[in-house]
Structure formats: C-alpha cells, structure tokens
Structure 1
C-alpha cells in the first residue's frame, strides 16, 4: 500500500453530501499494520457537527472533533480552519476513555487561531433554523454556521487562544451574547452565564495542547499527515448548492496548502459510496425511497435539526462534478460495495443517472462562478427527475466503473464497516 501514496500526505475527501465513509477510511490508513507511518490526522474543515463512524474490534465510536486515527493512538491536529467546541470535545474525550483510549486529550494539538464555537452560537443557530419552519436549510444545530457568520462580521470573534486570557475572552463572549440575544428566546434556547463559560474554557486550555505555529510542521517531520475532511464536497460553502450547504471549505484546497506549509506533497483520496445519500434538506435528483428501504443505516438516523437520512440511486453527474470541484482526485476509495449485491438480491438493483435530460448548458454544473449561480443550480436540481440506467451488479465491476467515471484508480474498497472489510485494489503509480 505504501507504493500507492509514496511518501505523500493523504487528503481524504467525501465526493458526495457526506457519510461516504471518511472515518473508516482514515482509521484504516492509520492502522499500524498497514505501515503508512502516519504522524498525525489533521482536521482541515468543519467542527463538532462531523460524525465519522469507526468500528474496530467490537468498539464503535462516532468521531466528531477527534481524528479517526485515535484508536491507533495517532495524534489529532485541529487546524486553524476548524471550529472548536470545547464542551463537546470534553464529552467526546470521556466516551473515548470508556472505549479504552487512555487520556485522549493528550493526543490533541489545537491551533490557537481556530474559531471557538460556544453555547451562544449553538442557541442562535437553532433559533434561526427554527424560525425557517418548513424552509429549513438542514443545519445540524451545532452552531457551525453561526460561528463562521459571526466571525465574518466581527474580527474580534472568540478564538481558541483567548481561552488563556480570561479578561479578553469575557469581553468577547459578552459582546457576542449581546449581539445574539435578539435571535434567542430565553425560554427556548439558553446558554450558560458568561463567567461560567470563561471558567470552563480556562479549564479546557489547561487540559489540552494549544499549539504554536510550528507544531504541525514538527509533527510532519515524523511521518506523513492524513488530512481528514468533514462533510462532503457537494456541501462546500462555495461549490455546493445553496442555501443547503455548510459554512466550511470542504474541497481540499486548504488541506493542500497546509501540506505545502509542512514541505510535503499530497495525494487526494476521494471517498464515495456505490449509491447517493443525503442527510437533511436540499436537492437530491436520484432520491429513491424504495431503495432506501432495502439499505438500512446502522449509524445515521433522523436529527432534530438535520432532518432525515435519504438514499438514492448513484448520481454520476454530481459525482463527476465533485471530482472536478476538488481539482481532480488522485485515487478513489469505494465503500458500501455490499449494498450492490444486497439490492440486486432483493430485486431492486441500484441504478445510475449518467446525465440530466433537458438542462444541457448547465452541465457538467460548472465551472463555478458565484453564489448566485450555485443558488440557480439548486433550483434546477430541485426540479429534476433524471432517467436512470442499470449499474453493474458485480461489486468489482462497480468499483472499476466508478474509477473510470472520475478518472482515478480505485485503491481501496469496502463491503462492511470494520477494518477487515477493507481491501487494497489496483494501486496507483506514486
């Protein structure tokens, strides 16, 4: 497997709307038996809304802010592009401790420039989404959009480094509370007292390593970095289909830049299922509820804010678009190959949409121009019911077809959630 990636860093990105299997892929890459010598897992986007499911030796954990290499003892770097939520981070550390990870917080390295997500952001986020009623955007309700939006208009938004400076943090939290109070009904959405938050965040700062600027480079001297993306490229804040997007750059440009800062080259590993999924609101032209009934989800369910988990036939148009948005991918990991045989055996095989009839000039959905264009594409996609044709019914043929579709070799496949279900295939030339 080392010949696939050479000595390059590996950037793991989801080529869909999320939930393609990034966490399990990162876990496999970090497993010591695979010999990839991973020095750290770097989170390069998103925040506490990430939900990456990993199953190892009877243990299951949904990784949120910790990197998915944690079961292998690989350190996590929360880069400057991540939104850090200390309360959720502490809860995740307690869960990992119960699962046998000794002192998980010792594995964390946090960039001081990262924005801080607080209960104020969470309350404002939920109030704003509640006010949308039937027109919800599909937020996870974790305060991510509110954190990013507030920082755009307020250069003094709270950051991780402020946790070391109680007076500075107190002033920033008080100003933010005043700003958000107009959105929030105190009888429905509440946040702790500002002084209580300052105390909590001071304890957080004492318990974790808040890194200096050279910390990532020092880790990179010890081996390759695995960059673990959150969400999916089709939800990217610029390239996704507005307004049903995340406030985060999901495509790999920020990860590539971080790798270059460390003096490394990088390899982009795209991850895709054999069918299309979407969690929450937004256009999904190939949605197929009959197929969804045949492919139950073990670890994804309906969220109070995010909405239902949706399943559809393979959308090849959007998959090609996602690969293009990434600037191309170097190789592909194909997950959920077992779904191909399961659906076929039930008499309802997965199908594929390889074009959208009647919208010619809008396809292949690019190049990106501006947010108004992306909003227009959302309107177009929302009104489409594309015709579908057959997808190969043998898993090996499906993997080969997907590799050909995006123009990248398939190097890893899986037909189940655990490490043992992963297979190395057709290694790319380094």
Structure 2
C-alpha cells in the first residue's frame, strides 16, 4: 500500500494495510516501549517501503527495511518473504546513526532464504517502466523503481538455486557466480524488447564487496535449522510490519497497478504457522487514513485535487518513478474490499484524525452503469485470477462514486469509518508522533 506515516502507520494506496502481531501497548498510550516488544518482523516487500516516523524531539526517518520501532531499540527481523537490498540498508543505517541510533546493524537479523534485490533488478525495472512512456497505448503501471518486481520475476523464471539470496552473502565465490549470471540474464531479457541495461551499473565485484560487508554486520539465520523466528516469537510480543496496502496486493489488487508481493496478512500467518504459533493469537490491525490516498498510477474514483491544499503531505512527494501523491474523499467501497481480501481485521488504526474536515465526503457506493444498482461492496475472486483483477480494475476506473456528507468535526471521522467498515477502531492518531496516538482499550489490550 501507500508510503505513509508509521508513527501510527498508514497506507499508500486505497485500502487497509495489514499489520499483525501480539502487541501489549501501555494502557492509555501507544508508545512502542522497547520492553514490551521483542522484535519487528518484516513479512513482505522490500526497499520500496516508506514508513515515515517522526519523534517528539523532531527526528524524522523514512523506514524502508529497518523496522519502524528502531528508534526505541526494537530489533528487526527480515523474514524469508522480505526482498533485501544491502546498498539501501547501508544508506538507511547511516542515516539512523546520524539520528542517534547506535550501531543500527546490531538490531538487524535476516533469514538466509530471503531474495536479494540488486542494482541489475532496479535498473531493469526503471528501463521497462520508462519504455512504457514511449509505447503507444501503454501507460505506466506505477512503480517505486526499486526492482521489486524484477527480483520476484527472475526468481520465478529460474530454478530456486539461481537467484542470489541473503545466505549467499557469506560466500564470495557463490555471490560472484550468481551475480554474473543474473546480470547476463537481465541484459539478454531486456535485449529481446530492444532495451539495454545502463552502462554505469556497479559490477559484480563491487556488489559482492557491499554484500559481504552486509553479511559481516547482520545476523544471518538459517531458519530451517535454527528455529530462530519461533524462538523470537516465544520470547515476547512481536509486531509483524507490512509494506504497502491491500489494493496493491499481487493477487487481489487492482492489476496491473500492483506490486509483486503479498500485502495481505497471509505471509504473517504463514510465518506464525511455520514457527509453531497459533495464527489466531495475533491481533490483526488495518491501518487507514480519514481520507483516501494513492501514491502513483491506478484507479482512484474519489480523487479530488481540490482537497490537496487542506491536506498537506510533508513526507510523501511526487517521485520520478512512483508519480504523484493523490488525495480523495474516504472510499468505503475500496476499503471494504481491502478488508475482505485480507480476511478481515480485528481492529482499525485510523490516522490523520486531525486533518481538516471541510469539504470532505464519504463514498458509500459506486455507480458503474445506470442500469444496475449501486455497488456498496466489490465482488472478490475466490481464487487468484489476474484476468479477473484486470476486469475489476476497469470496473472501478469507470465507476462514479456516490457520496454522503462527512462529519463537520474531524474527531467524528474514526467512529464513522468504523461503522462503515463494520470493524472496531482500536487506535486513533491525531498527529505525527507517538504522543498523538490514543489506544481505545475496548479494542486493544
């Protein structure tokens, strides 16, 4: 989903981004006390995540691969579903150190099976996306330009032993063999479309230097032998931190404006099961704003540029690859669908409850055509079906939103959203830092 504020968290495309775990927040506060949380576990996506955290003392960091609890000394574990980008991790660690986090890499562990995103993946991603601008009738899919899709695509196109993985960073000969083969494969694949890799990319030797430095600083775990994640979960409450939102999900999002990653709760549930945990013991949180946003291309029926001046966005800028950050009226239809494909949520986290309410409305249904009744709920496919998702995208793109007036007092938005989505509100955010978050004890304990 969207790139967003993760002091309370929020998504980057319409829909509720999943965040699950077994949190035990201090009553009356949502401060992420290090003593209460054993770890933050990343369970999807990679370096394209952008979770902005602002502290009360004015520090700001956009968390991409480190977990959003890092300021409080909470360790991060990158699970096997994570796409790890060591160049980006090094830059992120350097910024965290500048902000006062001592030895950030000491807080990081990674599953040896996690795929590596390389400069070759990233370059291929950007070359293909740019080519769509030059192709008649083609439009950008919407991309962060970080190589996420290329990483997954390559891993599916070859045998499991071919893609470079985190565990390979411990062996320079293995790294070089895989990096050279990857570079040659990507170059040949691009040439089939008349495209070329840039000539100024770092060579395999340079990449191997960075990756081996990463391996020396980070705890790499062989999960199948060590049971590291299970022990971590047994040691205390953990938070599973997702990346991007449900409407960008690789199987249930508005295709082709989607990511190559499962953005629902599914991966977190699978990790719990594999670790011998009861997935039903996790508290599943869906994070939404009081208005709908989307960063980049894709359908957004409630988009209204007139709202933008009253809804300033300090940390989500227009990007060369991702495109513009778009705002619109709260889309209950899209969010109902997001909850549906996630299997529901135990509670909602509603952010931006302090945002200006003037002129904002609530979309309760779509009118696709005049000869059918309004749709308050989008039909979902029972099985992954990208052809169905394309048709759904076309339907949503052509639909006209039907509105009800929104509340005049912005403080009334969270309750209205909870009612519309038939899900209790567990936490409300009235500002950018943890001091502006309020836990509703009736929902989160």
TM-score for both structures, normalised by structure 1: 0.89
User: Which residue, 196, 204, 221 being the options, matches 1:194?
Assistant: 204
Match among 141, 147, 150 for residue 143 of structure 1: 147
Counterpart contact for 2:22–2:237, Cα < 8 Å = no
Moved more, 204-213 or 310-319: 204-213
Instruction: Name the CA distance, whole Å, in 2 between partners of 1:36 and 1:201.
Output: 32
Deviation track 1:248-306 (CA, whole Å, cap 9, x = no partner) reads 00000110222232424211011100010000001000000001122110100010100
Q: For residues 371 and 98 of structure 1, what CA distance do their matches in structure 2 show?
A: 44
Tell me the matched-pair count: 412
Q: 287, 292, 304: which is aligned to 1:276?
A: 292
Partners of 1:92 and 1:230 lie apart in 2 by: 16
Inter-partner Cα distance in structure 2 for 1:320 and 1:187: 41
Higher helix share: 1
SS at match of 1:386: strand
C-alpha distance in structure 2 between counterparts of 1:308 and 1:164, whole Å:
40
Counterparts of residues 19-38 of structure 1 (less than 5 Å): 37-38=36-37
Match of 2:3 in 1: none
- 1:86: Cα distance to partner? 0.3
Q: Look up the SS of the partner of 1:162 in the other structure.
A: helix
Q: Secondary structure at the match of 2:300?
A: coil
Aligned to 1:42: 41
Q: 1:192 to 1:257 in 2, by over 3 A?
A: same
TM-score by length of structure 2 reads 0.87
Which contiguous aligned blocks of 4+ residues in structure 1 show a shift greater than 4 angstroms? Answer: 12-16, 18-23, 25-36, 184-189, 359-363
Output aligned runs, 1:336-415, within 5 Å: 336-339=352-355, 342-344=356-358, 349-358=359-368, 360=372, 364-368=377-381, 369=383, 370-415=385-430
Cα distance in 2 between the residues matched to 1:27 and 1:59: 24
CA gap of 1:418–1:110, structure 2 versus 1, over 3 A, is same
Counterpart CA distance in 2 for 1:124 and 1:26 is 39
In structure 2, the residue matched to 1:17 is 13
Paired position in structure 2 for 1:242 = 255
Contact 1:415-1:422 at 8 Å conserved across structures: yes
Structure 1 stretch displaced more, 392-401 or 410-419: 392-401
Following TM superposition, by how much is the alpha carbon of 1:19 offset from its aligned partner in structure 2, in angstroms?
Answer: 10
Give the drift of 1:188. Answer: 4.2
3-state secondary structure, aligned to 1:356: strand
Unaligned runs of 5+ in 2: 1-7
Contact 1:21–1:53 (CA<8 Å) still a contact in 2? no
Residues 27, 54 of structure 1: 8 Å contact kept: no
**RMSD, aligned CA:** 2.6
Structure 1 unaligned blocks of 5 or more = 1-11
